[in-house]
Amino acid sequence: MELNEEQNKAVFSNERFLFLLAGAGSGKTRVIVERIKRLVLEGTDPTRILALTFSRKAAAEMRHRIKIDGVPVHTFHSYCLNRLEHIKQQQIKVQNGKNPIFKKADLLNIAKYKTSVYRTTKPFSFQRYQGWLLAEEAKDYEDLLLDFYRFQKKGIIKNSYDHVLIDEFQDTNLIQYEIVKKLIGKTTSVFAVGDPDQAIYRFRGAHAGVILDYLADLHAKVLPLTVNYRSNTSIIEAANRLIMRNQGKLRKALVADNPARREVVHVSFEQDEAEAAYVSAFVSARIKHRIQPVEIAILYRNHHRSYELQQAFLEQDIAFQEFEDDGVAFKQGVQFMTIHKAKGLEFDVVIILGLEEGWFPSKRQNRLSEQEEERRLMFVAMTRARHELLLTSIQKDVQGRALRPSVFIHESGVKTIKKMSINGII
């Protein structure tokens, strides 16, 4: 398929500093790959092009699609690790930060503290955690970024690239942005790609204002990608209605390339047992209609919301898999995962569970910025679906307490059906 007009402009623009405002499903990876190919074709040494992304899976896919030897394609962490090992001439032992001794919340706070640049009060467990790393003679991922940045500031690591391309720029944290700025030489061009409507990792330390900082610091030109090649028109219209509730200087409504319509429906059940029975029947019907189980995703805000459905799948012998990280290959089963894990993925059929007020959006997210991040999380979930999107909620919890449907259902303009019979919509 040929590049569309927006994609073509992005591939061939000669602006030194660019920001590609790439909406969900708009072909941003293809644009990055084609831009790299164009640079090499025009005579750029492949080793003087650096492509950075945020997951091992995305980096591997980009390498596969570029098909040009010598172009460095890395996550931020793998790039820093490789350069540090080369300078120190020794292997660096890296801990992934997972340790049962430390609570997950403490580890997140430590990671955010390390990468904040503007240091705040040290987290309670910081010294004990650093002591553990010292005893292990290891570094964590944040240490790799910090050590690399210190070497940059001392002039030990100098820029050696003509072109730097960065994917998922909205998820960049402060230390990563400082590293990028230090990579810029007198003639280096920067091609940053991202979507503020898909910024969902602030809890990991992603800097909410990084795109605006980049535009202001480098006077970058903005180019949009607005055509969605993934989802049908009904899904895109519902997702647009939702995300337009957020404030934002950088936003372009998505337009679906696929004109097909299949109504997005919200089904409300009395309790989770009825929900599990219905969703199980819904999934079984799709599989009978020859949709591969691996092309069906069950998404949720929190793991616990999926337990009743998993039990129903086990009882009915429906194969499924809990997706843990980007190092796990899909098996032939229905995919269960949190919405955060689903970022960057797509499926023929998506079912979003747990759309109750207080759970999604979470009652813990009270500030406007937090509420908007919850809305972005819902937007990401909705735009994972290619052909069919089903939303579900329950009216009572296990204690019999009344629950209200998520505000996101109303905001997206989705039709609600209560107490559906099994035969009603399947």
Q: What is the pLDDT of residues 47-81, one digit of tens each?
A: 999 999 988 989 999 999 999 999 999 999 999 99
On the question of a cis peptide bond just before residue 361, with omega within 30 degrees of 0, the verdict is: yes
Is 269 strand, coil or helix? strand
Class of the domain covering 233-418: alpha beta
Is 224 within 8 Å of 6 (Cβ atoms)? yes
Q: Which residue has the tokens 């570029």?
A: 66
Sheet holding 347-352, edge to edge: 320-322, 334-338, 296-300, 347-352, 385-394, 265-269, 415-418
By DSSP bridging, strand 415-418 and strand 265-269 are parallel
pTM for the structure as a whole: 0.91
Q: For residue 332, what pLDDT band results from cuts at 50, 70 and 90?
A: confident
pLDDT average, residue stretch 163-188: 95
Query: Mean pLDDT, to the nearest integer, of 24-34?
Result: 97
* Comma-separated ranges of CATH 3.40.50.300 domains in the chain: 5-86+148-225, 233-418
So what's the pLDDT on residue 362?
87
Q: Report in angstroms the alpha-carbon separations of 138 from 130, 135, 143.
A: 10, 8, 9
Ordered DSSP codes for 52-74: EES-HHHHHHHHHHH--TT--EE
- How do residues 260-288 score in pLDDT, each as one tens digit? 999 999 999 999 999 999 999 999 999 99
Please state, rounded to an integer, the average pLDDT across all residues of the chain.
91
In this prediction, residue 424 carries a pLDDT of 56
Is it the case that residue 192 has pLDDT exceeding 80?
A: yes
**Residue 102: which residues within 8 A CB-CB, separation 6 or more?**
110, 125, 128, 129
User: Is residue 341 scored above 80 in pLDDT?
Assistant: yes
Residue with token string 């616990």? 304
Identify the weakest region by mean pLDDT among 101-115, 161-175, 212-226.
101-115
Average pLDDT over residues 203-215: 88
Check pLDDT > 80 for residue 322.
yes
Region of poorest pLDDT, from 157-161, 187-191, 383-387: 157-161
The pLDDT value given to residue 326: 47
Average pLDDT over residues 403-409: 96
The reported pLDDT for the residue numbered 117 is: 66
According to the model, what pLDDT value does residue 239 have? 98
Q: Which CATH class is domain 5-86+148-225?
A: alpha beta
- 267 forms beta bridges with 392, 417
